[in-house]
Every structure is written in structure tokens, then in C-alpha cells.
Structure 1
């Protein structure tokens, strides 16, 4: 057969099948590679989520006072069947609205393990928040940005801490950021029906933490429409009046009910004390300074902090050149400025208050990551490029810091060294790869995510059990619970931040004694009692003639947060349970 005829027959065959055989093989290989990539990504994400959010979730006892306080309030709600008014130690508790306690109390009716039931709501909310972040990034930017942002958020220290912490911040952030995301997609993505879901989510945010949800969203709206004519046109096109009516219709009935039931006490305690006076007053001394939250952000976003700073540098330079940021970028910064700025202006500051900024910041980091991949040497990506180079050195620093903490603060088995070793070696490898000329960041930050999984697994397996053995107040409370008769009185004296955990594990009404005269009056009543206190306080009472005897004694730590253990050496304290001397 002539060669030209053979070529013609081959071409006819290829036209029949739609492509050349080599192209078909290439397409098949690419499809298999994509399938393998997707499977590996799914496995990585599933492992990360399981380790960070759910693995051994209910194993540690309560430590921080807020966690035990919330859990006890929710348990009383579930046990009494009074699902609308929160109570703590059988007294009205006006700290926050009822929704979080209702969700936590419902979990307690389903799961028998108290610590797991108390924390599962926060963990599930964190999972939903990661999903919202992925959805928003995918919808408004690209699939790569959404996926990377979700991985960054799930791997951040902030979400590891708060998802395992039986308080409301992940739930509040899920509702508030989720509602804001729906409103943005409705306005910028031409999907107006989504705004109604956004208004419902904002109402749930109000029922979780109060009117601050509306304040933060309103301030973000004002900043955004003031920064961009396009955003003003788009955002003001939503049906805000009708949306606000939806929020009021859903959220107001609880506040009206509480006012009708408790009257001025609710106004004074919740509206004035827990909102207005807490923000502008000086109810609590020794508060951190104005820059406190910037340090919290720097630590809570590790190891992405340098990338975030680089992205900020790039965006500031863009604005200074009188160029416009795109609408999504401007909204993410407006959200961050609102959250951080609002709580920085408050006179009362807790580190977890600014957690709602975390999803937006991870989306900004993911955009920086993606933009450097797309055009590494672009002038507008200079800051993000430097920030990417800093991920490796930051991980080395984290590894060395963890090594110091594990050696100097805790008595851990040698296997715990895998945590600082993994972080340090991964950081060194990333530093080396980043300095290879022309090297682009991978599509997915595989090495960083795997190193963070190992880190969190090490914390769960080695560090948490080591801390647990020194948390003796739960054991002290359980001992009292098993010994005290129904007619016996139960009290604590100056346990301070340990009081909520003691109250939770003792499982009955407790008298919290603070002043010596108050304690002496309690002791002088003829009715039997058990009172937990420090050994030093017992020695002082006995020296003054109090007729007390020690019936139980344990040595443990007085610190109620890992931050205290990190910053300073805390000596062990002897705790005792005293009863009337015979």
C-alpha cells in the first residue's frame, strides 16, 4: 500500500474517533492523574478535618472557666426543660441569648458523654464554617482559591482551639460569616434569592451572641459602600429593609420574652452590663492593650501570617497607585477591619472575640497563593511572593518553639519529639524549595497541611494527656459528688477560675465563697458541708481557730489555660476538701 494511502486511511480513522491516538492516551493519562489528585486531596482534607475537629473531642475534662460555665448552663437547661431562659447554678444567667445553650443542651440529651456532647456543637459549626469558606471562595473567585482557603482555615491554630472548646464562637461565626457570604453572593453574583438565607443566618447570629451580629455586618456594609461605587450600587440593590424585618421577626421574640419574664433585671444584666458597659466601661482590670488582637491574629493564622502581611502590602500599594481592588477583595478587607477594629475599641478583650475575621483572612491568603502561582513575578504580587517564602522559616520557628515548650514545661515521652521535628524539617524543606529560582508554589499546600496534621495529632496524643493529669479539680469535684449526702452543703472557697469546672463536675448547687468572713459564717452553720479550697487557705482558717478537717487532698496546677503554661512556669498547688472537724 502506498505510504500516502496509509496516511490517508490513518487520518480517516483518527477523524472517525475524534482525536489522534497519542492525544487520546494523553487525555487518559491526564484524567487518571486528576482522579488521583482529587482522591489524594479528599483524603488529605478528610484527615485534616477529623484530626482537627473530632479526634478525641470528648477526652479532656473542662479546664477554661468559660467552657465549663457554658456547659453547666446548657445542662441545667436540658435537665429542667426550661429551654428559653439560661440558668447557671440555679440562677438566671444573662450572659448571652439562648440559641447556643439550646443547641448544646440538645446535644447533651443525645450523647451521654458530657464533654463530647458539650463540644460537638462547636466542632460541627467549625466544619460548616470551613464548608462555607470553600463555597464562597469557589463561587466568587475560583475552585482553587476556595479549596486552599478551606484547608488554610481548617489547619489554623484558631480553629483547632475553638472547635474543641465548648463555647459559642464557631457557631456565631458560622451564622454571621455565612449570612454575610450569602448577601455578597446575592449582590455580586446576581443570585438575589440567596439574600433571604443570609438574613435568616444573621438572625440566628443575633440569637447566638446578640445585636453585635447586626453591628458588625452594618459597619462592614458602610465601609464597603463608602470604598467603592460599584459595591455601593450592587449592595444597595439588595432588599435591606425587608431583610431587617426578617431578622427582627426571627430574633426579637426571645428578647421580648426575656423582658416579660425577668423585667428590669434582664435589661440591667444583659443589655447594659453584658453589652454596653462591657464595651465602654472598666468592669475588669488588667486588660491587654490596643494591639492585643494583632498579636492574636499573627499567632492564630500561623503559618500563613507572612502570606497575609504580604497580601496586605500588595493591596495597599494597589490603592496607593490609585488602582481599584476588585469587589471581593475590598469586602474581605472591610470585614476584617470591622471585626478587628470594633473589638479593639472595646475596653474588654478576649482572644476569641475576633475569630469571625478568620475565614476572610484565609480567603485573602488563598488569593495571594493563587495569584503568585498564576504570575509569580508580577509587580502586584511582590508582597505575597515574599510571604510565601516566609512560610518555611515560620514553621522552623514554630518547631523550635514547640520543642522548648515540650521540654521546659511538660514531662512528655520521647515520641512527642515528632511534633517539633516534623515542623522544623518541613519548614527547612519549604525554605529550600522556595529559594529554587523560578519554583512555583504547588496548587495545594500539601507539605504544610501534612505537617500541621502531625502537629495537631501530637498535641492530642501527647500534650493534652500530660496536661490532663495535673487538672485535679474535676477529680476533687467528683469525689465530693460521690460522698456528699442530699442534705449536705457544697461550697468552694476562692477557687476563682476553677469554680465553673468544680460546679460542673460536682453536679449540684454550690456556694461560691470569696471573703474570709463569708466562709467563716458558712462554716459556723451546724449543717454538714464539703468545701474545696487551696491547702494554704485551710491552714489560715485552722490557725484562726476554725474547726475543719481535711477529708481529701490532691496536688495539681492552678492555671486554667495553656497560654499561662507557655508564658511562665506555674508551680503545683495543693487542693483540699474540708469538712467540719469531729
Structure 2
């Protein structure tokens, strides 16, 4: 019995699943990933912001100077905006169009991770790596969100996979050159996605790997000359052109947005040093039970010059530590670690005996049961500014996800107990994939309330081509995209601070100027519409500013300077 518990569940490097089933799984993964991109509202701030930057680029035809609400916006490079503007050009503005690039990046990351696992380790490890990454909660969810995290992570996953394939001991000279050039191209795109981290992180990992493995010859196998030329050919043109047109951009982007943000608090993104370690626990579901084994696997040295397991471990550990040291922390920062974790987990799934598989499946079933039991209690009352009815509407989705995890964990345990590893792994992957989609889709109730889309019919009924639209005390990241027009800022700066220094005419000097302009327009029959915070609305009401209430919700109030509806 002892030997049975510890022996591998099956032998051989090739999975027992039929090729037809594998192709069906791949097709289902891609189709469902793409089909669900448009089922939810674009949630502010990030989804609305990056959709609007792409929409303004698409509308203006200026693909060099990135703008938000018509104002210069240089916090991030343009890759996401380019891709969104391209999809808007091809398919028109919309929700799935705004998420198409991030969805494709998630798919590319899974395919590259699976291919690297196949070529560097074995076909079974490649299959498992793809299954793990495609079903990991953080990776899957990030691919459904229009933000920069998956844009960066997809390119970094491509870089990591290409580097592993190029550096493997069995690679020919031609293969090494081709795959390293792909790695350099992916680094360039990663830099265009989110800045210097796209270069700094892979470079630092290579330095640490060379020291840990005593493999300094790896630097002679990078094709650095050709690689640097390719990198510069891809990444440099935009930085040169945008600096020529906007001389203020280089300092703001490279100094303020990189070094100041990393080193200085005050960006309202502070969190304790262990923030990302805690986030790994839900982020790796349904594979949480394999995390200790995966990290241990990375530390085991194998025969050969190149040590891919060690490189994967350093990739994971360095990126985790790097962002943990930053003064600015957001959950999406650690998405790039998951391809490395997926390959390390796949190695454990391939090597482990029956007992670890049964334990991991049992843990997944327990987590599912806890989710089913805890969701009604945890979401029974409003908290964190979220209305109780919104939290209650989320309960069925979480309960359904918990049931899938419970059932998937139980079925995977059944397969593992009968020494059927491939079905056990596949069952856990499918359970994680479906449960994550339910968790993300169920967010729609909160997303709509956060974005304020229920107000769109009332706003559109008031808007005319001559209507002046104001943002008073708040800026609506998503409503601006849905309305397809920027707003004049009043008593709001936040992320527009640097852009308004360059172009102050995009905002009014203060509330007094707004009130004067508002009243002049109303008296002259020039329509004006304002989206204000509730506090600002009360202040305007106390000042006796003439206005008509158009619509409101818990977060915003819409007012018109035309006191009778239907005036020109």
C-alpha cells in the first residue's frame, strides 16, 4: 500500500488523452475565453480608462500622443491603446472589442507555456502546464479584464517560454537564434505594454540565474547583438516620436512613473510587504494544494548545463519580491509569475504519486464546500460601500462556482484514487476554468453599478452635438467611453495633473467659473449637462445654482442647465 501511494499515477511522457480530445479542449478554451469577453460592463477605473484612450486614438487618428478625456496622458506606453484602437477600427467600439487584446494575450500565454513545457520537459508536462495556467484564477480573470496586466504578462510569458526553449541543451544553433529573437521581440512588446519592467524583470532573472546556477555562459547564448537591434527596432520608434512631439514626456514617464512610483508612497496603492504572498493563495486556485511542491521542485538540480527548473523558480521569486518591495501595489502586478508557477506545478503533477494528487483534489473540494457555505453569510449585508442587494445578487454565482469546485475536487479525487492521473488533472482544470468564469461573470451587477450604465439612457436623451458635458467633482472613466465624448473637468485633477499642466484649457479653474459658465449657457439656451458627485450636487443646490435633475444613483448625479426638458 505504501508503494502504491507514492508511485507515479502512470508512466511515460505522453498523455493518455486522445489527440481529438486535446484539440476539442483547446478549441473550447479559446472559444469560451473569447465568447465571454463581452458579457460584462467595462468597470472603472482601469477598464473604462484604457478603453477610452483607445477610443480617442481611434477617433483622432493620432497614434503617437496618447490622450484620456482629450488630455495628454503619459502614465503608460501605447501598446494597449494601439490594440484597442485597432479592434475599434475593425469592429467598432464596444466591450468585447476593448477586451479582445487582453483575451488574446491570455490565450497566447497559455499556448506558449504549454509549448515550452512540451519541448523543454515532455509532452505530458506541456499539457499539464497549459491546463494549469488556463484554469488558474488570476490568469484567467486577468485575461477577461481590459487592463495592462495581461498585456504585459502575455508578452512576458512569451519571453519566458522562448528563452527556455532557446536555452535548452537539445536546441540547435538555428533554433537557439530563432527563439532568442522571439524572446527579444516579446521583451520589446512588454516594454511597450507597461514600461521598463518588461526589460528589467527578465534581465534581472537572467543575472540571478547565472549566479545561482554558475552558468555565466548563458550570456553568450542570447544573440545579444541581433536581439538588441530587434528590440530597439520594435520599442524605440514610439519613444522617439512621442518625445519629439511632447518634450515633457520622457521625464514624466521614465522618472515619475517608474522610479517615483516604485520608491515613494502616496499613490493610494500602499499595502503590506506580504500583500502578494496572500494573493497567491486564491490566485493559484484550483492548484493551491500544489504550491509547496512546485516551489520545492524548482530547487532540485537536474543533470545538464541548463537548469530550466531553477530559472522558473527565480522568475517566480524575483518578480514576487520585486513588486513586494514597491510602494505601489495592485493585485494584477503579480500575474507574470503564473506561467512559471504553471510549469513548476506541471512538473509536480507529472512526478507525484497518488497521495499528493488525492490531497490536492480533496483540498479543492473543501474549498468549494467552504465557498458554498460561506457565500450567503459573507455577502448577507452591505460592506465597503457596496449595496446589500448587489452583494446578495452575487451569491448565486459564488455558490455555483463553489459547487463546481466541490464536484470537480470530488471527481478528481475519485480518478486519483484509481491511479488515473490525466483525467484527475483534466477534471481539476475544467472545474477551475468554469468556476472562474462564473466568479467573473457574476461581477456584472457590481460592475454596472460602479460604471453607472443605468444612467446612460437618461443622459443620451439629453445630449445633442452642441451640449457641453461637464465632470464636476468626479470623472467617469467608463461613462465617458460609453458616451463617446470627453467632459470638461471641474474641481477634479487626480491622474490628469501632469496633462493639465501642459493643457490647462481642458479644465475650468474652479467651481465659480463653472457656475458662471453654466448659468450663461442656461440663459442663452445653450444646453449643458453635468455629471457630479453627490457631495458636489448638494453644494450646488445649497448655492442656489439653477439646474434640473436628470438622473442619479448612489455614486453620481446628472443635472441639466435647461430647466425644462425639451429646450434646444
TM-score (norm 2): 0.82
Aligned partner (choices 136, 148, 151) of residue 156 of structure 1:
136
Change (3 A) 1:309 1:403: farther
Is residue 2:43 matched to residue 1:63? yes
- Asked if structure 2 preserves the Cα contact closer than 8 Å seen for 1:391 and 1:427, the reply is yes
Instruction: Report what 2:405 is aligned to.
Output: 423
Instruction: Report what 1:236 is aligned to.
Output: 220
Query: How do 1:282-297 residues align onto structure 2 when only pairs under 5 Å count?
Result: 282-285=265-268, 287-297=270-280
Deviation at 1:58, TM superposition (A): 1.6
1:105-144, Cα deviation, whole Å (9 max, x unpaired): 0110111251111111111111111110110000000111
Q: Report the Cα distance in structure 1 between the residues aligned to 2:252 and 2:457, rounded to whole angstroms.
A: 32
- Asked if structure 2 preserves the Cα contact closer than 8 Å seen for 1:49 and 1:154, the reply is no
Change (3 A) 1:186 1:127: same
Change (3 A) 1:233 1:87: same
- Asked if structure 1 preserves the Cα contact closer than 8 Å seen for 2:361 and 2:428, the reply is no
- Asked if structure 2 preserves the Cα contact closer than 8 Å seen for 1:372 and 1:385, the reply is no
Tell me which moved more, 180-189 or 65-74: 180-189
For these two proteins, the number of residue pairs brought into alignment is 514
- Asked if structure 2 preserves the Cα contact closer than 8 Å seen for 1:393 and 1:431, the reply is no
Is residue 2:199 matched to residue 1:214? yes
Instruction: Report what 1:330 is aligned to.
Output: 310
Is residue 2:126 matched to residue 1:126? no
Q: Report the Cα distance in structure 2 between the residues aligned to 1:341 and 1:414, rounded to whole angstroms.
A: 37
Query: How do 1:518-529 residues align onto structure 2 when only pairs under 5 Å count?
Result: 518-525=510-517, 526-527=520-521, 528-529=527-528
1:166-195, Cα deviation, whole Å (9 max, x unpaired): 123222222222123222322224232221
Aligned partner (choices 488, 497, 512) of residue 511 of structure 1:
488
Instruction: Report what 1:224 is aligned to.
Output: 209
- Asked if structure 2 preserves the Cα contact closer than 8 Å seen for 1:523 and 1:580, the reply is no
Query: Which segments of 5 or more consecutive residues in structure 1 lack a partner in the other structure?
Result: 1-32, 556-572
Change (3 A) 1:339 1:253: same
Is residue 2:556 matched to residue 1:575? yes
SS of corresponding position for 1:532: strand
Query: How do 1:545-564 residues align onto structure 2 when only pairs under 5 Å count?
Result: 545-550=544-549, 552-555=550-553
- Asked if structure 1 preserves the Cα contact closer than 8 Å seen for 2:294 and 2:341, the reply is no
Deviation at 1:226, TM superposition (A): 0.3
SS of corresponding position for 2:489: strand
Q: Report the Cα distance in structure 2 between the residues aligned to 1:543 and 1:450, rounded to whole angstroms.
A: 57
SS of corresponding position for 1:445: helix
Change (3 A) 1:395 1:235: farther
Aligned partner (choices 260, 266, 281) of residue 298 of structure 1:
281
Q: Report the Cα distance in structure 1 between the residues aligned to 2:555 and 2:314, rounded to whole angstroms.
A: 50
Q: Report the Cα distance in structure 1 between the residues aligned to 2:326 and 2:398, rounded to whole angstroms.
A: 40
Change (3 A) 1:406 1:292: same
TM-score (norm 1): 0.80
Change (3 A) 1:314 1:460: closer
Deviation at 1:484, TM superposition (A): 2.5
**More relative contact order, 1 or 2 (CA 8 Å, 6+ apart):** 2
Instruction: Report what 2:236 is aligned to.
Output: 252
- Asked if structure 2 preserves the Cα contact closer than 8 Å seen for 1:134 and 1:147, the reply is yes
Is residue 2:186 matched to residue 1:201? yes
Instruction: Report what 2:469 is aligned to.
Output: 490
- Asked if structure 2 preserves the Cα contact closer than 8 Å seen for 1:411 and 1:466, the reply is yes
